[in-house]
Structure 1
Amino acid sequence: MELDGTDLSIVRELQSDGRLTYETLAQRVGLSRPAARMRVQRLTESGAVRVVAIVHPAVRQLSASAHLAIDTEGAAAPVAREIAALPQAPFVTLTSGRRAIMSELRTAGFQELERTIEHIRALPGVRTVDPLIATRHVKDPYLLTDEPTVALQDDVDERILAALEDDGRLPFAELAVRVGLSAGATRSRTLRLLDGGVAKVVALVRPDVLGMGFLCGFSLRVGGEAAAVAAQVERFARVTFLSTCLGRAELVGTITAESFDAVRATLEEMRALPAVREVESWLHLELVKERYDTASRPA
């Protein structure tokens, strides 16, 4: 769908705070409250934007993550769909380059991470799995970096989070019905969780909607300290995700750009860094799954 300047302003506001009231949103983008509400509904009903809660990994005990490069025997799409069905795999794409599939895993510890990787290796059609074990998430639009300052009280808090993971803009009255509390108590509980860093509500937007429809993954081999190179690469505006890791490379990340020329220019910037020894890149051809809001939810 085509977005005008007002739509883009709404998206940017919701990316910062997905639970902005329609009144506040309307004031910030210069619309009436009904017009702002109508625009948000149009964006979400079209599938271009989803407003959801992202729960802090520590709350779900997600202490381990990895990036998998997967090669297949035969068609890759059915294998990618099998991997996407795993709750431990929030991100799965079909790609160009040496490997057919790229996937991210987030698990409750390294034992579960190992079991999940072995499960993927055993899937029909999988030829090889090459993992990069993440050591630190340097840049991640869907990760809360500060530790939560409050803890979950009971299963009511869990139900609140689960409801907001499905729809981050649920009105407090409707949320109250779902969790079995009064609207006032639900509002108090929800604000405690959000203000305490347990979760944040954000707008997930398809990159192509923002005119940034070219996604390129990359891995870097570096000489010297990976942290120093990560600090440089993190500052590149088009690098939207970056992690240090162990394996065939020291850094792995994603470029989100408006054109192939912009992708090429960013890769050239990386190659020009003195400590970078090798750059491998691949294009994300089809986004099979990107669901950081539900990947960590308990079964």
Structure 2
Amino acid sequence: MSVELDSKLIAALQSNGRATYRELAATVGAPRAAVSTRVQTLLDTGTVSVVAVAHPELLGLKAMAHVSVAVSGPVGPVAEALCASEAAVYISAVSGHYNIIAELRVPSQRDLYDAIATIRAEPGVRTVNTLFYAEVIKGIFMPKSALRADVRLDAKDVALIELLERNGRMPFLELAERTGLSPSAARNRVNHLIDSTALRVGAVVKRRGGGRTLAMGIGVNLGSRDREVCAQIEALPGIEFLARTLGRFDLIGTVAADSSGDLYSLAEHIRTIDGVMALETWTHLEVFKEHYARSLDVRG
């Protein structure tokens, strides 16, 4: 029961990291006391951390890509070296033909080329394959729309964002005390940042153990029914990330589940979808880095 409840809570926190215990209880259909206990356990054990991420446009990040790296020799030293790159927001050791995957977010395509060139030059790197994001369909820390034109931040907003980047569930009272705002003003500002797409708050999951902490990457080649297939895959349980890409795949994604059997069943289901021409999968073995925060300047 706890694994099933944890899975539901993780999914709910990925959707809304600042949901109250009452809201979470209503979402997962469990008593508030049980929800409070399980959420606190997930946080205390480090299985889940809830963080805020500013809209990429606020951070000046306009070019994004998924990079697969094949390594000669041990994977660890290469992964650790890549972690030092500010361009890489996510780095994971994976099974399959490639040994490491990374997500890069940079200001321009030239910066992206330079970041990939740096990866290629790293000792131990044998091959680098790049998928450019044409459109992000679903992502915990990826907005579904462009930044609203009327978004303007002041120093108080930036201070709130920086606090929430470290603890996305920080209470409004503590946010108020640490920024010099009243509790109601802190609440209004945070809600406005979220509603205006300037900020997303969600759960980062440590990929070990049970409770939707097993993850599989998928690379899909599509036929002519592009939109219909994307919609069907997006609707599947456990889809955390989905993007249209330019490169060896038309679509890539991340699927989370409670067990390897569930991941297998999901992969088999995707293969049966009309319009899926080919499917490649890889398992996330060890996440070395998942950090999306960047320094944020006040917009005038």
What TM-score, normalized by structure 1, do the two folds share? 0.83
Residues 86/263 of structure 1: CA separation in 2 closer, same or farther (3 Å cut): same
Matches of 2:215 and 2:6, distance apart in 1: 22
Please give the secondary structure, in 1, of the residue aligned with 2:103.
strand
Point out the more displaced range, 226-235 or 8-17: 8-17
- Please say if residues 19 and 168 of structure 1, whose CA atoms lie closer than 8 Å, have aligned partners that are also in contact: yes
SS at structure 2 position matched to 1:220: strand
Residue 77 (structure 1) aligns with? 76
Specify the alignment match of 2:219 in structure 1.
219
Distance 2:19 2:263 in 1: 33
CA contact (8 A) 2:205 2:213 kept: no
**Counterpart position of 2:283:** 283
| Counterpart Cα distance in 1 of 2:25 and 2:226 | 44
Which residue matches 2:250? Answer: 250
Distance in 2 separating the partners of 1:24 and 1:233: 27
Matched, 1:198 2:190: no
Q: How far apart are the structure 2 equivalents of 1:139 and 1:40? A: 24
Q: Distance in 2 between matches of 1:223 and 1:10?
A: 35
Aligned-residue sequence identity (percent) comes to 35
Structure-2 change in CA distance of 1:268 and 1:127 (3 Å): same
What residue is the counterpart of 1:107 in the other structure?
A: 106
Q: How does 1:165-180 map to 2 (within 5 A)?
A: 165-180=165-180
**C-alpha root-mean-square deviation of aligned residues, in Å?**
3.0
Q: Secondary structure at the match of 1:280?
A: strand
Give 5+ residue unaligned stretches, structure 1.
Answer: none
CA contact (8 A) 1:218 1:253 kept: yes
Provide closer, same or farther for how the CA distance between residues 42 and 234 of structure 1 changes in structure 2, counting only shifts above 3 A.
closer
Q: Distance in 1 between matches of 2:8 and 2:263?
A: 25
Instruction: Please state how far the C-alpha of 1:125 moved relative to its aligned partner.
Output: 1.8
Q: What does residue 57 of structure 2 align with?
A: 58
In structure 1, C-alpha distance between the alignment counterparts of 2:270 and 2:21, rounded to whole Å:
42
- The alpha-carbon distance between structure 1 residues 232 and 10, as it changes in their structure 2 partners (threshold 3 A), is closer
Alignment of 1:268 with 2:268, yes or no, is yes
CA shift, 1:83, in A, is 1.5
Counterpart code for 1:131:
T
* Alpha-carbon displacement from aligned partner over 1:104-161 (angstroms, at most 9, x marks no partner): 1122222222221112112222121100111011222332213444413223322211
Query: How many Å apart are 1:80 and its aligned residue?
Result: 0.9
Q: Cα deviations across residues 58-104 of structure 1 (Å, max 9, x unaligned)?
A: 22232221111101121111111222232322221111111111111
Give the direction of change, closer, same or farther, for the CA distance of 1:116–1:21 in structure 2 (3 Å limit): same
| Amino acid corresponding to residue 178 of structure 1 in structure 2 | R
Matches for 1:12-91 after TM superposition, within 5 Å:
14-21=13-20, 30-31=31-32, 40-91=39-90
Partner letter of residue 223 of structure 2?
Answer: G
**TM-score w.r.t. length of structure 2:** 0.83
Greater shift in the superposed pair: 240-249 or 127-136: 240-249
SS of equivalent residue, structure 1 residue 254: strand
* Residues 1:19 and 1:274: Cα distance change in structure 2 (over 3 Å): closer
Per-residue deviation at 1:49? 2.0
Q: How many residues get paired?
A: 294
